[in-house]
Chain A
Amino acid sequence: MGDEKQVENNAVDNIEKGVNMAVKVYSPYKVYFDGLALSVSAASKTGNFDILPKHHNFITLLAPCDLVVRTDKEEQVIPISGGIMHVKADDLVVFLDV
């Protein structure tokens, strides 16, 4: 129980230090990713882009692409047909199937 609390505190510290961002990728009925990430890559109509911690507030319509979520342990690739990305204060949410 104490270890879990410590991990949670470290995660919050990492967000505050600008190392990570809180990322959630989900559709109305399924969560594809929910956790901390170092970066997220995707594509909009104008081309590919990457989102890193400390990014400016941002809302974009996503184009069909492979959405890549990079964490300190792995890289998760999520093929998407479109969606909406909202970034605010190191909190990134991708709404899929919309």
Chain B
Amino acid sequence: MKRPSELAHEEASMATLVELTSAFEGIASMKIAQTKNQVLESTKFFDRLWKIYSQMRVDSLFTFGRDVDEKPLIDKELFIMITAEGGFSGDIDQKILKLVLEEYDAEKHDIIVIGHHGAIQLSQRGIGFKKYYKLPAKDQNINVVPIVREVQQYKAASLFYAEYISLMSQDVKKISLASAVKSRAAAGEDDDAEVISEETYIFEPDSFAVAAHLERSMMQISISQLILSSKLAQYASRFKAMTASHQRADESRNDLHMEFNRSRRAIKDQRLKEIITGIKKSTAGAGN
């Protein structure tokens, strides 16, 4: 059995770990609340933009904000993987990678990775990717313009991302970018809305340029929101891991405390035994 002083030292270390995991748990929880609020604000903004766009009805197709005279499209689908920057995302990145690999065909798809962890995972499996971007550290004003430029070169694009369901549950999903934009707008659809046309509005420079700009903007907001959604799931996954670590550390500390008490008691018992033995011997000696 370990000595009480050793056990006391271990218990103190474990107490520090309990405090640390508790602090990380708190940070993750705060980040979740902030990010959820940002997604909500951004959604309201998007809804208003979509309303203008849908009232314009320039073209029934969502054309990814491409200009009419742009060069021919790459006849492939672009896969965009949103993963974590580090390795603290639980098993989410593995699930995303599995989902990508189920469909990936080098002849038909190109991959862009957001997040260092995903890039490493792909490299370890010997799968090449076109570009890698760091997962933005900040949660606001995420610059997705370079990604939108890439998307515009392809005939189609899909995003693979983690979705926050609840604190204890996260899922991985695939969504085509055009559907991502439209699904975000579905709630704000209004069939009775007025038609915005060149007869009722002055456009500067013209209605097609405005519609293309709106499409690019909504695509940027949608990608930003999916990145935020992934970060939210990662924070939740981290929160879950920290909660489990906190519980384990707390249990270990309690076990150590019990062991410390047992060890102290054992030493006391041993001393008591020695004293009693000594008294017995001395009593026996006096009797002789």
Contacts and interface: CB of A to CB of B under 8 A. Distances in A.
A57 B45 contact: no
Contacts of B140: 29
A97 B42 CA distance: 12
Interface string A19-38: 00000001111000000000
Interface stretch (A6-14, A58-66, A67-75): A58-66
A29 B204 contact: no
A95 B210 contact: no
B210 A28 contact: no
B202 interface: yes
A58 B221 CA distance: 23
A72 B255 CA distance: 70
Among the interface residues B41, B45, B52, which one has the most CB atoms of the partner chain A within 10 A? B45
B45 A59 contact: no
A5 interface: no
B205 interface: yes
B45 A27 contact: yes
Given A28-B224, A29-B140, A84-B217, A95 B49 contact: yes
A92 to B, nearest CB: 13
A46 B213 CA distance: 17
Contact-residue size bin, chain A (C-beta under 8 Å from the other chain): 10 to 19
- The B contact surface, by secondary structure, is helix
Contacts of B41: 28-29
Interface string A82-98: 00101000000101011
A28 B46 contact: yes
B204 A59 contact: yes
B140 to A, nearest CB: 5
Contacts of B49: 84, 95, 98
A86 B204 contact: no
Interface string B173-208: 000000000000000000000001000111111000
A84 B210 contact: yes
B228 to A, nearest CB: 10
A28 B45 contact: yes
Nearest to B217: A98
Contacts of B203: 59-60
Contacts of B202: 56-60
Given A29-B38, A46-B204, A95 B141 contact: no
B48 interface: yes
B210 A97 contact: no
A-B CB proximity, top 3 nearest = A60-B204, A98-B217, A28-B42
21 contacts: A28-B41, A28-B221, A45-B204, A46-B204, A46-B205, A56-B201, A57-B200, A58-B202, A59-B201, A59-B202, A60-B202, A60-B210, A61-B204, A61-B210, A84-B213, A86-B52, A95-B48, A95-B49, A97-B141, A98-B49, A98-B221
